[in-house]
Chain A
Amino acid sequence: MSKKKSKVLSDHKKVGKKLLPPLMHQVSGVTPSHYDRDTLPELLWLALIENMHGLRVAAAIAEEIGTFVKESESNCRFITITEMKNVDKIEWSALRTHLSGKEMLDLLISAIHDLVVLYPECPLRNLMKQVPVKLRNDNFLASLEVLVADLTYKRGRRAVLMQANALYLLGSQGKLFIKKGLSLGNFEALKDYPDTEESRKVGASMCASSAMVVTLPGNDDLNVWRWPKYFWKRNLEQLPITFDVNKRSSK
């Protein structure tokens, strides 16, 4: 029996002089989202809460903020940091009061305090009556670096919990309807992520859905202030890139 000679990249479609991979030619109108560039910084505050206080507290705070948004019929979802920029003082005050009443305000502030010190334009500064200028943890930048490195792996535990919390927050506002039986609804399973198959299914759904939470109108408008742009620029100010001018190697 003769073997057919396998053609290199045979599953790609030739369009002009380009070979398009299956996902690009079978699914039209796909706009790629940027997890590490946009989603990670936008939801970083949720990861900071989980990092400091654990999953249960993070989920509880997310639920309470979601409840506030629903009850106050706020225009802001309070999910991405960028969208919090346009929240007015009255609404911030109302949120502070709501969280304080549930004994959650101090927990939230403790998690994001040093972020606000190092990134003074961060809208989360409005959670505090007075914007702080002194770090509580002098090693915060180093720990932030470690956390962001961890979060860079989108399917890692930290990142999945962060994305899940964002979706949970959206659900708590009554804005996310999940059909019964779908993995996306089984948040509870994530406490075991990634050690069980069910948790991995749920985690995969979270990863697949998180982009829709972060994608907002005007995201590509260069004239509009966006937290990810500020975050990455500020990182270069605080931690300049160094060049190894005299590098020698045995390559």
Chain B
Amino acid sequence: MSDSNKEKFIYELINSFCDKVKEEVFFIIKKIPINLMEPHVHSVLSALLARQGTLATELCRAVSAWNYHSAPLFIRSMVDVHITIAWLMEEPFDRCLKFVEYGLGQEKLQIEHFKAKLIKEGKDPEENEQIQALENNINAQKYTFLLPVELGSWSGKSTRDMAIECGLQDVYNFSFLSFSRCVHSTWNHISRFNSRPSDSALHRYTFVAEMPEFTPDIHQLDTVARRVDETINLFQRYLSLPEDSQIIDKWLDAKLEELGKKYRSEESR
């Protein structure tokens, strides 16, 4: 395939993929019942699903990030979102409320740190417009003087415990943990992707730093598709919709074949 057709292939693939993800995500979001007596359930679950879609489309558009340096940063977040959604769905009313309160409490804590910094600099926090805007944002949802600040994890549990509780231990062990090494830049990641053993025994084959640039790997997109599918499948069960655990993955396979044929046949003309 010529370079020009490869570019067109990728451009069309990215746009179609993003459209497909949005289509499937909003299909589900529109099915989530809205109860204005407990709006936090709908708000949190739909926003998290939208977040999943955003993570997928953002990575899809960043072709240069389709590699083991960068894709896991997104994908691990997607696994985190997936586990969070699964856990919330077990007891949506209480847990979604906890989720909202935690987020607002963290904002409140951040504002207090900001205020303390201003005071240290001899400035008056009451006169800072940014602080006022941030506080107004919180107060619009819950008064700050009635908002507790949780210092531990938002759920009171580790991600691992949340995953086990929802029957997602394999997801945690094989997806969350394996992508975490990229997120945290632990030795088992950087020794493989930012290091290589020296060629010489006289250097004790010591690890030597490097910054290799990788060509885009379409398998990363496949991984993203499967992550979105997993989450959509959660909602299908939650909402008692017909289940299809491979909507986007199957679509992607078909799309790749379609575009491959299209651009190859163009070249053969």
Contacts and interface: CB of A to CB of B under 8 A. Distances in A.
Contacts of A144: 202
A211 interface: no
B214 interface: yes
A236 B208 CA distance: 13
A235 B203 CA distance: 7
B58 interface: no
Interface string B189-215: 000010000101111111011111111
Main secondary structure of the interface of A (DSSP, over half): helix
A226 B203 CA distance: 17
Contacts, number: 54
Interface string A215-251: 0000000000000000010011011010111011111
Interface in A43-79: none
A152 interface: yes
B203 A251 contact: no
A247 B213 contact: yes
B160 to A, nearest CB: 13
B26 interface: no
Number of chain B interface residues as a range: 20 to 34
B246 interface: no
A232 B209 CA distance: 19
B68 interface: yes
Contacts of A250: 214-215
B200 A239 contact: yes
B204 A145 contact: no
Contact of A251 (B68, B200, B201, B209): B68
A244 B67 CA distance: 19
A36 B209 contact: no
15 contacts: A141-B202, A146-B201, A148-B202, A149-B201, A235-B203, A241-B208, A244-B210, A244-B212, A247-B210, A247-B211, A247-B212, A248-B212, A249-B213, A251-B67, A251-B217
Sorted nearest first, the 8 A-B pairs with minimum C-beta distance are A149-B201, A148-B201, A235-B202, A247-B212, A249-B212, A251-B214, A145-B202, A248-B213
Interface of B: 67-68, 193, 198, 200-206, 208-215, 217
Interface of A: 36-37, 141, 144-146, 148-149, 151-152, 232, 235-236, 238-239, 241, 243-245, 247-251
